[in-house]
Amino acid sequence: MSCLPWVRYRHFDVHVFDQGRFLAPVITWGRFEPEGSKLVLPLTMNIHHAVADGFHLSRFFNEVQQLIYTMA
C-alpha cells in the first residue's frame, strides 16, 4: 500500500517484472479534493490476474465506496 497525499492523479501504474512470482496487490491512493459538489479520492489497485479478476476488484471498490458513504 502506498499513500501519496501530495499528488493529484487520474492514473497510477506500477509494473513489477518478476516473471509472475509477485502476486500481492499494489494499492495506491492520492490526495482527495473537491470536484464540484463531490470529494474525489484517486484509488488504484494493480493485481496479477492469477490471483483475482474483475469481480474481486469490483467487490473491493464497492466496499470502499460503502465505507466512505457510512463515514460521510
- Domain span holding position 31: 2-71
**Rounded distance, CA 48 to CA 32, Å?**
27
pLDDT tens-digit profile, the chain (72 residues) = 788 888 888 777 777 767 767 788 888 898 888 889 988 888 988 888 888 889 999 999 999 999 988 886
56 has catalytic annotation? no
Q: For residue 61, what is the enclosing H or E element?
A: helix 54-71
Number of Cβ within 10 Å of residue 28's Cβ equals: 18
Which of the residues 11, 15, 48, 49 is marked catalytic? Answer: 49
Please give the pLDDT value at position 72.
66
3-class secondary-structure state, position 48: coil
Total domain count, the chain: 1
| Predicted structure pTM score | 0.74
> Cell triple for residue 37?
459538489
